């Protein structure tokens, strides 16, 4: 009698804290009647041999799929045989699997964001004039790994994108690294997150979409917002915050108070996980149980705490 495959999946990063990924993937396995487990493999930064050892488990078949999060999304690349075009374009890997004779690195953050943004834009009646793929303007706050995936997804869908970061040289490096490809979008511009720079940018070319790709506002720093204080949000923009802990960030509250449609990052979290699950299992991911699982486990609304509070709720992918 043939024994059924038991999927051994996992996540590496540091810190992993109360990661939501095990709950998401266990729900998907359970809903499809698949046997398996999803475990956490915390590896601190600067331990390449531990990372190589874990990749060896994927190569040997001991692990069938691995997610990678901060701070290893770039470092993991040197241990892989091949990157998908998305991983190559974004310069970051969040999903690893073995295919043929190759250890392959993929990036599901960019398509996960694109799917989530599409749901958001389609589900809000206020946004009927903001189709997901139009030559509209988007302003992305932050220029780290997640911003790179977001900018790539937006430019691929035809958005004209500006990146604003507190270190303008980081925004320039992101913009230079991603253009001219993909060809559909216009040139990516770079700016500082200083109030005067953002005020001027919003005044000259009001964006239709603002995306927060910084951790500002994430627990325990829930009283922070990446949006510069004293600057009005663009009058007709939709606001998307990648942060999902808490569900309702200060930026989202301010956007709703200004009458703007606003979305947090839970749906991107689920979509990037669903796409990784599909790479590993070859099965269509059961999104409803995955959304239900995250609804049960995600922190619903961390209470604002004063800056500098010692309590720390670390939630990483």
Q: Which of 13, 22, 142, 246 binds ligand NAP (CB under 6 A)?
A: 142
**Which letter does DSSP use for residue 239 in this model?**
E
> SS3 for 138?
strand
Binding segment toward ligand NAP, per CB under 6 A, in 50-58, 76-84, 208-216, 287-295: 208-216
Q: Which of 146, 164, 178, 198 binds ligand NAP (CB under 6 A)?
A: 146
**Which letter does DSSP use for residue 61 in this model?**
T
Q: Which of 5, 57, 73, 300 is catalytic?
A: 73
Smallest gap from Cβ 100 to ligand NAP, in A, equals 29
Asked if 140 and 150 touch (Cβ cutoff 8 Å), the reply is yes
Q: Find the DSSP H helices in the chain.
A: 21-31, 48-60, 85-90, 109-123, 145-156, 168-178, 195-204, 250-257, 266-281, 287-297
- CA distances (Å), 28 to each of 240, 270, 286, in order? 26, 11, 6
**Partners of 280 in the β-ladder:** none
Q: Which of 17, 215, 228, 289 binds ligand NAP (CB under 6 A)?
A: 215
Give me the count of residues in the chain: 317
Is residue 300 part of the annotated active site? The answer reads no
- CA distances (Å), 262 to each of 42, 247, 256, in order? 33, 11, 6
Nearer to ligand NAP among residue 28 and residue 98 (C-beta): 28
- Positions 162 through 181 that interact with ligand NAP (CB under 6 A): 165-167, 170
Smallest gap from Cβ 5 to ligand NAP, in A, equals 28
- Positions 64 through 93 that interact with ligand NAP (CB under 6 A): 70
- Positions 88 through 127 that interact with ligand NAP (CB under 6 A): 109
CA distance 31 to 33: 6
Nearer to ligand NAP among residue 239 and residue 243 (C-beta): 243
CA distance 79 to 291: 32
Does 226 contact ligand NAP by CB under 6 A?
A: yes
Nearer to ligand NAP among residue 157 and residue 164 (C-beta): 164
CA distance 34 to 18: 24
Nearer to ligand NAP among residue 67 and residue 214 (C-beta): 214
Site string for ligand NAP, 255-284 (x = CB under 6 A): ----------x--xx--x------------
Nearest to 142 by CA among 112, 163, 119, 120: 163
Assigned token pair, 249: 């960030």
Assigned token pair, 178: 């991603």
Smallest gap from Cβ 206 to ligand NAP, in A, equals 21
What order of strands is seen across the sheet that includes strand 189-192?
A: 189-192, 160-165, 137-141, 209-212, 238-241, 262-263
Nearer to ligand NAP among residue 208 and residue 221 (C-beta): 221
Closest residue to ligand NAP: CB criterion: 144
Number of chain residues interacting with ligand NAP (CB under 6 A)? 27
- Catalytic residue list: 73
Q: Which residues bind ligand NAP (CB under 6 A)?
A: 70, 109, 142-147, 165-167, 170, 193, 213-216, 218, 224, 226, 242-244, 265, 268-269, 272
């Amino acid at each position: 009698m043939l024994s059924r495959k038991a999927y051994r999946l996992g996540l590496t990063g540091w810190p992993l804290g109360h990661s939501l990924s095990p709950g998401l993937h266990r729900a998907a396995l359970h809903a499809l009647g698949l046997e398996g487990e999803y475990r956490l493999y915390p590896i601190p930064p600067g331990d390449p041999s531990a990372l190589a050892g874990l990749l060896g488990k994927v190569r040997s078949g001991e692990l069938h799929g691995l997610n990678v999060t901060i701070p290893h999304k770039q470092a993991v690349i040197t241990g892989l045989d091949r990157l998908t075009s998305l991983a190559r374009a974004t310069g970051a890997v969040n999903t690893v699997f073995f295919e043929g004779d190759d250890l392959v690195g993929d990036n599901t953050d960019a398509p996960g964001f694109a799917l989530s943004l599409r749901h958001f834009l389609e589900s809000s009646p206020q946004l009927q004039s903001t189709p997901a793929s139009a030559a509209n303007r988007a302003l992305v706050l932050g220029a780290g790994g997640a911003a790179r995936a977001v900018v790539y997804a937006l430019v691929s869908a035809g958005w004209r994108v500006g990146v604003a970061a507190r270190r303008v040289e980081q925004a320039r490096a992101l913009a230079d690294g991603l253009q001219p490809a993909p060809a559909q979008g216009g040139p990516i511009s770079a700016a500082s997150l200083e109030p005067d720079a953002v005020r001027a940018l919003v005044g000259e070319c009001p964006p239709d979409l603002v995306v927060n790709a910084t951790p500002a506002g994430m627990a325990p720093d829930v009283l922070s917002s990446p949006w510069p204080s004293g600057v009005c949000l663009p009058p007709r923009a939709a606001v998307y915050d990648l942060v999902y802990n808490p569900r309702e960030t200060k930026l989202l509250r301010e956007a709703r108070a200004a009458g703007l449609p606003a979305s947090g990052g839970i749906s991107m979290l689920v979509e990037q996980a669903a796409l990784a699950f599909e790479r590993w299992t070859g099965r269509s991911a059961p999104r409803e149980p995955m959304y239900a699982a995250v609804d049960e486990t995600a922190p619903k609304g961390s209470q604002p705490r004063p800056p500098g509070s010692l309590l720390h709720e670390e939630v990483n992918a």
